[in-house]
């Protein structure tokens, strides 16, 4: 049963501009509990009545969804998000749906913690990293939040009992990176006019793969030696089906100074490319009117590692290599975070804290070096006190013999 009331609020509750009409609705939710909805204030009774009519229409929709399954909710969530998030995010949703099939036919009004725990057991049987399992866990929570907001389901009893995945026995993956000597050995076998600055950009600038592929000549300021990073080509796109997208966060946008070695190689590539008939500043630095493919970059990297006889690392590991390079040359954690475009320093610290361990030991060595003079003076003072004490003891013994 639904009870509706359109009424005026008390004078002291009216807004400064005279809005005083509200509507209240009492109804039974999908969870069987009685609920109350109180609207915001409206200027006229007619406005409040129209808003009340719209609310009842939406409430009707919710009530008609009392037999909604988890799959129905996911599809609704997917449709709702389709024009609100990036294409790469939509692809992520599609990739994850196969892991939600265990919930497909469960009615949301019956959904309980046992369903969730059984799902966790099934997911734990799969060869997935714990971090990815927890991404799936967060994804389910997002879908449930959507169901609570738009369909008035009450998932609180389940939500409060849900826990993330843990695996104390899982070995942390080793972070691979090139030292400067290894990189110099790697780049020594590269003689291509485009691939040489490409790998130098990865190593010295720490760009993500999407940022590298999205780099255009208009982003290179040769006069001021600046590289502007503010867009990317998401990994879901191929060479001939690409789309430039903004970076994930505002903090990822950054202007980085270009070192002289890289600048010279970029200038040489630019002078070569601008001789092409249709060249423009919109051309991609690493490509032409189309960006290089991910596969071509990876293949060239694999070839160079083999020729240079250095370990194979991923393209993303060049970013770790850049962080290591900066840290070894004394860059603070704040500077490394800014250079790499991290949103929070915590992200940088969690990723690279082990690299700072050696820097901490260097600091101790520096403190010991600075304090070496003080320690030497203390030793001399200690020796002097020992000699003085011995002299006093000898004098005392001489006096006692005389007596």
Number of domains in the chain: 4
Same domain, 305 and 349: yes
Whether residue 194 is found in the same domain as residue 295: yes
| Assigned domain for 95 exists | yes
398 and 337 within one domain: no
| Predicted pLDDT at 387 | 60
pLDDT at 242: 79
Which pLDDT band, with edges at 50, 70 and 90, does 67 fall under? confident
Q: What is the pLDDT of residue 290?
A: 92
pLDDT for 175: 78
Question: At residue 170, does pLDDT exceed 60?
Answer: yes
The domain of 342 spans: 180-358
Q: Which of 17, 36, 63 is the last residue of a domain?
A: 63
Q: Which residue has the higher pLDDT, 265 or 240?
A: 265
Mark whether 298 and 334 lie in a shared domain.
Answer: yes
pLDDT band at residue 398, thresholds of 50, 70 and 90? Answer: low
Does residue 364 sit within a domain?
no
Reported as a single tens digit per residue, the pLDDT across 218-248 is 999 999 999 999 999 987 765 566 788 888 8
| pLDDT tens track for 148-164 | 888 888 899 999 999 99
Which pLDDT does position 102 carry in this prediction? 92
One domain for residues 284 and 313: yes
Please check the confidence at residue 2 and state whether its pLDDT lies above 70. no
Same domain, 48 and 98: no
Q: Does one domain contain both 144 and 30?
A: no
333 band by pLDDT with thresholds 50, 70 and 90? confident
pLDDT higher than threshold 90 for residue 196: yes
Query: Same domain for 325 and 201?
Result: yes
Residue 266 within any structural domain of the chain: yes
On whether both 210 and 324 belong to a single domain, the answer is yes
User: Does one domain contain both 200 and 226?
Assistant: yes
Is the pLDDT assigned to residue 74 strictly greater than 70?
Answer: yes
Same domain, 312 and 227: yes
Q: Is residue 363 situated within a structural domain?
A: no
Q: 3-state SS of the chain? A: CCEEEEEECCHHHCCCCCCCEEEEEEEECCCCCEEEEECCCECCHHHHHHHHHHHHHHHHHHHCCCCCEHHHHHHHHHHHHCCCCCHHHHHHHHHHHHHHHHHCCCEHHHCCHHHHHHHHHHHHCCCCCHHHHHHHHHHHHHHHHHHHHHHCCCCHHHHCCCCCCCCCCCCCCCCCCCCHHHHHHHHCCCCCCCHHHHHHHHHHHCCCHHHHHCCEHHHEECCCCEEEECEECCCCCCCCCCCCEECCCHHHCEEEECCHHHHHHHHHHHHHHCCCCCCCCCCECCECCCECCHHHHHHHHHHHHHHHCCCCCCCCHHHHHHHHHHHHCCCCHHHHHHHHCCCCHHHHHHHHHHHHHHHHHHHHHHHHHHCHHHHHHHHHHHHHHHHHHHHHHHHHHHHHHHC
In a domain, residue 166? The reply is: no
Do 290 and 263 share a structural domain? Answer: yes
Of 29-33, 127-131, 236-240, where does the model show the most confidence?
A: 127-131
Query: pLDDT: is 385 or 402 the higher one?
Result: 385
Residue 167 resides in a domain = no
CATH number of residue 197's parent domain: 1.10.443.10
Last residue of a domain, one of 128, 159, 190: 159
pLDDT band at 205 (very low <50, low <70, confident <90, very high): very high
- Residue ending a domain, among 28, 63, 98, is 63
Query: Considering the domain boundaries, does residue 56 fall inside one?
Result: yes
Which pLDDT tens digit goes with each residue over 352-388? 776 766 655 665 666 667 677 777 777 777 776 666 6
pLDDT the model gives residue 284: 96
Residue 168 covered by a domain: no
């Amino acid at each position: 049963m639904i009870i509706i009331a359109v009424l005026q609020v008390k004078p002291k509750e009216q807004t400064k501009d005279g809005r005083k009409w509200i509507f209240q609705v009492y109804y039974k939710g999908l969870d069987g509990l009685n609920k109350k909805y109180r609207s915001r204030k409206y200027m006229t009774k007619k406005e409040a009545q129209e808003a009340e009519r719209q609310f009842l229409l939406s409430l009707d929709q919710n009530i008609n969804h009392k037999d909604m399954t988890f799959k129905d909710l996911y599809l609704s969530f997917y449709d709702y998000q389709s024009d609100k998030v990036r294409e790469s995010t939509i692809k992520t949703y599609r990739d994850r749906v196969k892991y939600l099939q265990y919930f497909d036919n469960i009615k949301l009004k019956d959904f309980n913690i046992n369903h969730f725990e059984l799902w966790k057991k099934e997911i734990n049987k799969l060869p997935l990293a714990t971090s990815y399992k927890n991404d799936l866990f967060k994804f389910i929570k997002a879908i449930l939040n959507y169901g609570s907001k738009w369909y008035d389901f009450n998932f609180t009893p389940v939500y409060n009992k849900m826990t993330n995945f843990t695996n104390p026995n899982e070995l942390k993956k080793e972070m691979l990176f090139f030292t400067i000597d290894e990189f110099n050995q790697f780049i020594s076998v590269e003689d291509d006019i485009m691939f040489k600055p490409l790998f130098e950009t990865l190593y010295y600038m720490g760009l993500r793969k999407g940022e590298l592929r999205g780099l255009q000549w208009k982003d290179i300021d040769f006069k001021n030696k600046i590289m502007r990073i503010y867009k990317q080509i998401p990994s879901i796109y191929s060479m001939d089906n690409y789309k430039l997208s903004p970076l994930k966060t505002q903090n990822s946008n950054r202007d980085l100074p270009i070192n002289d070695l890289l600048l010279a190689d970029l200038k040489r590539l630019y002078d070569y490319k601008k001789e092409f008939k249709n060249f423009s500043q919109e051309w991609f630095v690493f490509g032409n009117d189309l960006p290089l493919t991910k596969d071509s970059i990876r293949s060239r990297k694999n070839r160079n590692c083999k020729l240079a006889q250095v370990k194979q690392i991923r393209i993303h590991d060049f970013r770790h290599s850049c962080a290591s390079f900066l840290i070894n040359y004394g860059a603070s954690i704040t500077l490394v975070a800014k250079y790499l475009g991290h949103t929070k320093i915590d992200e940088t610290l969690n990723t690279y804290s082990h690299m700072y361990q050696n820097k901490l030991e260097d600091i101790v060595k520096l403190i010991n070096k600075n304090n070496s003079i003080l320690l030497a003076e203390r030793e001399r003072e200690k020796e002097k006190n020992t000699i003085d004490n011995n002299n006093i003891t000898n004098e005392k013994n001489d006096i006692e013999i005389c007596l």
